[in-house]
Structure 1
Amino acid sequence: MATANQIMAIDRLQKWFTPNRPIDLPEYMSGRLDLIFNVKEAINTQGLHVILYGDRGTGKTSIAHVIANMIQEPDRKDGRRVILVSCDSSDTFSSMWRKVFQEIMLTQRQLGFVQQSAAAITGTMDNQVSVTTPNDVRLLIKSFPNPTVVIFDEYDRIPETSNARHLIADTIKLFSDTNVKATILLVGVATSINELIHEHQSIGRNISQILVHPMDNAELAEIIQKGYSNSGFTFEDGIDYKIAALSQGYPHYAHLLGLWAGKKAVEAKRDRVTHKDLEQAITAAIQNVAGGIREDYEIAIASSQPDNLFKDVLLACAIADKDSLGRFSIKALREPLSNILNKPNIRAVAYQGHLYKFCELNRGPVLKRTGNRRNYRWQFVNPQLIPYIKLDAIERGKFTSDSARVL
């Protein structure tokens, strides 16, 4: 049974290591200072709007929440207000903006932002006010006395078939052309803004495109350093950068491994995290990884044949040398797969069929293929699977956590 001190220690850890929810306060954010500065600069530039995009799991939602808290000015009568809403697959242009105005009535009124005239408008929206065009939105936004930043998180969930993306582009242009004191910030999973907003060429001068790259090792190590320091823990030399390397750029894994390594130290009644704690934390991390990653992995490698190679080929894909876009060639698998199977000079014919199957719907797909027949390139649909695959390989004894750091 845990003691009171152990329970309090775990509570402190869970305050700083949050693998299952976004960060919302600046003091809990590690790294990303240049990126946050760039977003704030864009928001402070009149007529400019922002698109924050990147791979899944790079921390875009946390950045959006932190920025919202940093630029909100509740103590000033004429201060800026920030409205953050999440999109979903059922949203239309109208429902997106209704969420915004409902949020104003539910939360922003407490800050004193909503004047009576504006409150009357939004309070009767469901019955009297139509929100179907960009101009409808412009008129409603202009009814509020304060400068406004509207953040649409998970914007990539808006259906491609919806006209909402066209209308959002029109709204951005209208806001800029008519000097509306409002900024739109779109946050979504994408490799380019073409995947998020239609007709972006016509609003090119009105938007700041900010790509959220995976975090570098120094930023990920800072998560560990700050988390343990503020939780009252110390750690053995190298653990911070070891966790950073295992996380492969994704803050979720740094928070997950940091939390469970700390919990293992608490179980041993210590306030110093050791390398042994981290080794033991890997199993717990695999079992508690978020976002359906574990399920995606199991679907990708499923087979009724006990001697199948799906798991090993997928591990080789995770280890293979990749270009700046995360793509690899079929030849890039030869060396890592030979090492995994302990079979020198394995031929492509032994595994190329697995690559094609990884691109099929019944295996996720876990990979996608680009290029032409003479020069196919493959990449993970969800790059967050890469660190999971490596952690699973460590647990299976394919290699150690130290060797995994350089793979």
Structure 2
Amino acid sequence: MKKKYFSLEEIFTPSQPANYTFVERYSVNKRLKRALNTPGKQIIIYGYSGVGKTTLLTNKLKEEKLKSITTRCMSGMTLSDIVKDAFNQLEIYFIAQKDTTKGSKLGGTLSASYFGIKASLTGEQNEGDKSLAKRAVDLPITPQTLARFIGESSRCWILEDYHKVRSEDKFLLAQIMKVFMDSSIDYPKLKIIAIGAVNTAREVIQYDPEMKNRISEIEVPLMDKANLQEILDVGEKLLNIKIPDSISKKIIAYSSGLPAVTHQLGLLVCEANEVSNTVKTSLPKKLDVKSFDSALDEYLEDNSDTFKSIFETATKIVHKRKSENPSDILIAILMSNKDNVTVYDVKENLKIKDKSYKGNNIKKYLDELTTSDRAEILRFNKDYNSYYFSNPFIKAYCQCALRNNVQTEFNTSKLLSEFRETLNKELEIARKTFLEDYYD
């Protein structure tokens, strides 16, 4: 019997993979399904933050009935930390006395050859009737050993936020991918699935060119307006509500292709209308048109620290450059009063303040602003060879912060009002460009 009633948090899930509101993106889903079912094929899933990479993978693994372990990479993690996390999840034990212990723990003998990684796990003991098995502690690990134990558990290994792995460790991880590919002869389901930011796949190939034809590079693009609308449509049906068209259009425009934002705004609009579960009435509950404003205020206040962090990361000065500091470039982009700007547009605007400006490196610095190192504050449109802000929220934040020449937080009514006014202008631009020109 299908479930009839849902909690709001089951339907709009901004911080977790979507389940009931998962939207099929057929070309991407087809490629991922093929890669998951191809023995030995390693997978790199990449795209902008909030675009739905983890949701896509989670639903496909469930559909293909594949088990996995997940390591969430964080800045500063070493290769030893990453491997240690995988072994912790597998709960590997080695034989200290006669036979393996009874139970469901994964047993085996670790190779003595040294790879420069040690398990460094806790020294728990697991005792059976006739044996004593100890959890791996300070034992040397080879890539082959790692592949064998994950393979014997019939799992694939997911590396979340792969782009955060230290550069010096990415070469070794590329080597481990190669070993996993070779080991797939014995373990057909064995593979590494790395999820990361834009250009993640390029990094793997850069560290090991031999992997070029052994990796499936799957880009998860921004969602088009039809897919974003489908999230809201499914939410309406499962919660028995009716979202006015004016609210739907604003949510889609503000989302800028990011389903995570659609989920967040959908959640807040429902909360503003006191919808916490499926509405138990014969007719859908129509949401108040005016409720979007309060939901938006809530979103801005909840995310003010996020906007501030993105702005500070993007404008951080590592090496001071004449006329080409990140804030100089962002000001030049805003001066154009366009949603999409070209290298030429930015170069000409920078010349207004500096007549001698040549602009030989401007494309390099613009591209840098699209990377995770600069919080992906810009995106690159391949079709038009132009750049644009990642979403209307951060564009409006930049306008306010740069105009006031402060690292501002929107925690006062005055600043919030200014931000809202700027954001409303960006919404009109987003409607005309993002919804009509970019995807149609």
Give the TM-score of the pair, scaled to structure 1. Answer: 0.69
Q: Which residue of 1 aligns with 2:286?
A: 272
Q: Which residue of 1 aligns with 2:60?
A: 67
Q: Which residue of 2 aligns with 1:91?
A: 77
* CA deviation after TM superposition for structure 1 residue 103, in Å: 1.4
* CA deviation after TM superposition for structure 1 residue 243, in Å: 1.6
Q: Which residue of 2 aligns with 1:136?
A: 145
CA change 1:139–1:46 in 2 (3 A) is closer
Q: Which residue of 2 aligns with 1:395?
A: 420
1:262 aligns to 2:287 (yes or no): no
Contact 1:83 1:150 (C-alpha < 8 Å) held by counterparts: yes
CA change 1:15–1:88 in 2 (3 A) is same
1:116-161 deviations in Å (ceiling 9; x for gaps):
6833559745326322x3122233335x2x5321111111111113
* Cα separation, 2, equivalents of 1:198 and 1:311: 30
- Superposed, 1:4-403 pairs within 5 Å as 12-19=7-14, 21-23=15-17, 25=19, 27-72=20-65, 80-105=66-91, 118-119=106-107, 124-127=134-137, 129-131=139-141, 133-142=142-151, 144=152, 147-162=154-169, 165-178=170-183, 179-181=185-187, 182-196=190-204, 198-266=206-274, 271-289=285-303, 292-297=306-311, 315=334, 319-322=338-341, 328-329=342-343, 331=345, 349=351, 372-373=360-361, 378=366, 380=369, 381=374, 382-383=376-377, 385-389=390-394, 395-397=420-422, 399=425, 401-403=427-429
* Cα separation, 2, equivalents of 1:247 and 1:377: 26
* Cα separation, 2, equivalents of 1:250 and 1:157: 21
Q: Secondary structure at the match of 1:51?
A: strand
Gaps of at least 5 residues in structure 2 are 93-101, 111-132, 317-326, 378-388, 400-418, 434-440
Q: Secondary structure at the match of 1:213?
A: coil
* Cα separation, 2, equivalents of 1:54 and 1:400: 24
1:406 aligns to 2:406 (yes or no): no
* Cα separation, 1, equivalents of 2:240 and 2:82: 43
* CA deviation after TM superposition for structure 1 residue 235, in Å: 1.6
Q: Secondary structure at the match of 1:82?
A: strand
Contact 2:23 2:227 (C-alpha < 8 Å) held by counterparts: yes
CA change 1:298–1:261 in 2 (3 A) is farther
1:235-263 deviations in Å (ceiling 9; x for gaps):
22353343212211112221122122222
Q: Determine which structure has the larger helix proportion and give its number.
A: 1
CA change 1:229–1:265 in 2 (3 A) is same
1:378 corresponds to which letter in structure 2? L
Contact 2:332 2:350 (C-alpha < 8 Å) held by counterparts: no
% same residue:
22
1:281-301 deviations in Å (ceiling 9; x for gaps):
222221223882244347879
CA change 1:319–1:23 in 2 (3 A) is farther
CA change 1:330–1:130 in 2 (3 A) is same
* CA deviation after TM superposition for structure 1 residue 400, in Å: 7.2
* CA deviation after TM superposition for structure 1 residue 23, in Å: 1.0
Q: Secondary structure at the match of 1:209?
A: strand
* Cα separation, 1, equivalents of 2:430 and 2:150: 52
Contact 1:233 1:273 (C-alpha < 8 Å) held by counterparts: yes
1:372 corresponds to which letter in structure 2? N
Q: Which residue of 2 aligns with 1:363?
A: none
2:191 corresponds to which letter in structure 1? T
* CA deviation after TM superposition for structure 1 residue 349, in Å: 4.8
* Cα separation, 1, equivalents of 2:193 and 2:166: 18
2:13 corresponds to which letter in structure 1? T
CA change 1:95–1:279 in 2 (3 A) is same
1:53-85 deviations in Å (ceiling 9; x for gaps):
12222222222333343333xxxxxxx431122
Gaps of at least 5 residues in structure 1 are 1-8, 73-79, 107-113, 303-307, 323-327, 335-346, 357-370
Q: Secondary structure at the match of 1:55?
A: coil
CA change 1:170–1:276 in 2 (3 A) is same
* Cα separation, 1, equivalents of 2:354 and 2:293: 33
* CA deviation after TM superposition for structure 1 residue 50, in Å: 0.5
* Cα separation, 2, equivalents of 1:264 and 1:333: 45
CA change 1:261–1:298 in 2 (3 A) is farther
Q: Secondary structure at the match of 2:222?
A: coil
Q: Secondary structure at the match of 1:396?
A: helix
1:306-337 deviations in Å (ceiling 9; x for gaps):
xx999976655784324xxxxx3352699xxx
* Cα separation, 1, equivalents of 2:17 and 2:246: 25
Give the alignment's Cα RMSD to 1 decimal.
Answer: 3.9
2:421 corresponds to which letter in structure 1? R
